[in-house]
Structure 1
Amino acid sequence: MSVQGQLLDITVIGCKNLKDTEWISRQDPYVILEYAGNKYRTKTDTDGGRNPSFNEKYMLSLIEGLREINVAVWNSNTLTADDFIGSGKIMLQKVLIDGYHDSTWPLTARSGRRAGEIRIILHYKNPKGAQKVSSAAPVHESLPVYPPASPAYYPPPVYAAASPYPPSSPSDFSCYPPVYAPYPPPGPTVYSTYTPPAAFGAQSPYPPQAYPPSTYPPQGYGCYVARPAGHYPPPYY
């Protein structure tokens, strides 16, 4: 997979054991990173001396085929030109495979002597190692093969021994048939003689009653005696 246009995070932590370019005061180092014609400068660590600290982070756009970053350390001066301390190269092969690389890189002076070292942390989000792991075919574990289980052995069933006596025949037992009492069947049912109703308009054998009754109107109930007015309480009867 091409790394063209991919982003690389680079963090400049600091330097150790730098060559001292100052005779009286402490030097003020700073770092310049250069990649594909672009330069990135850290802040100046005033009075950082031989062991300056920066802790600055940058993001670089990778170029296909370019696998190194140039780094240089300088001492900042106020009245004169800045002093060159040392330079080096940061290789990117490991971070492009693993995705992370924290290491120190040596610095060399113009004379070729060692001028100290610089610590840089690299972080890449799409490493090739992760792509290989994800594209690998899954491994299927084979299941253990066990021998077939032998059939379970059961002892044959035990039957009861035959009796030495002959079996008894059904004739040995007395037979008592049930005796049912004679029951005469019921006689024929006798129904009463049906008398048809009299024809309409036939004469009744009974004489009709006189109408209205002879005792009309009805007789009264008892006698009512009028009481004289103005007497209270009423007289005793």
Structure 2
Amino acid sequence: MPRGTLEVILISAKGLDDNDFLSSIDPYVILSYSGQEHKSTVQEGAGSNPQWNETFLFTVSDNASELNLKIMEKDNYNNDDNIGEAIIPLEAVFEEGSLPENAYNLVKDEEYCGEIKVALTFTPERNDDQSYNEEEETGGWKESASDF
């Protein structure tokens, strides 16, 4: 299983259900991966097409293979409302190293409710045990070559 750092760039969302009666919705995102959680800033009055452009880092050290993004609507008087959720499989970013900006469907109660745009980068942990000293590796060759 890969070990390293997962960088999530939260870019924007669109097509969110703007169901506030008196004003536009104030969305934010809860990002969770393998027991770690981050929360984006609240985009006050952003309505159905918020923009964040925020970066979050997660430590990858176990076999968790999904990133969960939950868009919430900040509510000053009641509990915050769940607008929708996207689950992003991470196998491709672990293999490729990065995935460019991409839109993922948001779902609530098994129904499409907008999309969220993110970019992902995975930086593997550098293992000093696996690194090698190039001089040691070729040292024997250089010495034997000079004898001829």
Q: Which residue of 1 aligns with 2:107?
A: 108
Which residue of 119, 122, 125 maps to 1:121?
119
Q: Which residue of 1 aligns with 2:97?
A: 99
Displacement after TM superposition at 1:70 (Å): 1.0
What secondary structure does 1:95 align onto?
A: helix
Residues 185-236 of structure 1, C-alpha deviations (whole Å, 9 max, x = no match): xxxxxxxxxxxxxxxxxxxxxxxxxxxxxxxxxxxxxxxxxxxxxxxxxxxx
**Higher Rg:** 1
- Measure, in 1, the Cα distance between the counterparts of 2:24 and 2:10: 21
Percent sequence identity is 28
Q: Which residue of 2 aligns with 1:64?
A: 62
Q: Which residue of 2 aligns with 1:203?
A: none
Residues 81-132 of structure 1, C-alpha deviations (whole Å, 9 max, x = no match): 111100110111111111111211111113x211101011101234xxxxxx
- Measure, in 2, the Cα distance between the counterparts of 1:66 and 1:37: 9
- Measure, in 2, the Cα distance between the counterparts of 1:28 and 1:88: 18
Residues 29-51 of structure 1, C-alpha deviations (whole Å, 9 max, x = no match): 00001111121000000011000
What secondary structure does 1:125 align onto?
A: strand
Q: Alpha carbon RMSD of aligned pairs, Å?
A: 1.5
Q: Which has the higher helix share?
A: 2
- Measure, in 2, the Cα distance between the counterparts of 1:21 and 1:70: 23
> Could you tell me the TM-score, scaled by structure 2's length?
0.78
- Measure, in 2, the Cα distance between the counterparts of 1:32 and 1:8: 16
Q: Is the 8 A contact 1:30 1:76 kept in 2?
A: yes
Which residue of 22, 31, 34 maps to 1:24?
22
- Measure, in 2, the Cα distance between the counterparts of 1:65 and 1:38: 14
- Measure, in 2, the Cα distance between the counterparts of 1:63 and 1:107: 27
What secondary structure does 2:92 align onto?
A: helix
Which residue identity does 2:106 align to in structure 1? Answer: L
Which residue identity does 2:43 align to in structure 1? Answer: D
Which residue identity does 2:117 align to in structure 1? Answer: R
Q: Which residue of 2 aligns with 1:75?
A: 73
- Measure, in 1, the Cα distance between the counterparts of 2:33 and 2:122: 16
Q: Which has the higher strand share?
A: 2
What secondary structure does 2:75 align onto?
A: coil
Q: Is the 8 A contact 1:7 1:124 kept in 2?
A: yes
- Measure, in 2, the Cα distance between the counterparts of 1:11 and 1:107: 17
Structure 1 ranges of 4+ moved more than 4 A:
none
Gaps of at least 5 residues in structure 2 are 125-148
- Measure, in 2, the Cα distance between the counterparts of 1:61 and 1:120: 18
Gaps of at least 5 residues in structure 1 are 127-237
Which residue identity does 2:67 align to in structure 1? Answer: I
- Measure, in 1, the Cα distance between the counterparts of 2:18 and 2:61: 35
Which residue identity does 1:107 align to in structure 2? Answer: L
Q: How many residues align?
A: 124
Q: Is the 8 A contact 1:21 1:85 kept in 2?
A: no
- Measure, in 1, the Cα distance between the counterparts of 2:19 and 2:39: 20
Q: Which residue of 2 aligns with 1:136?
A: none
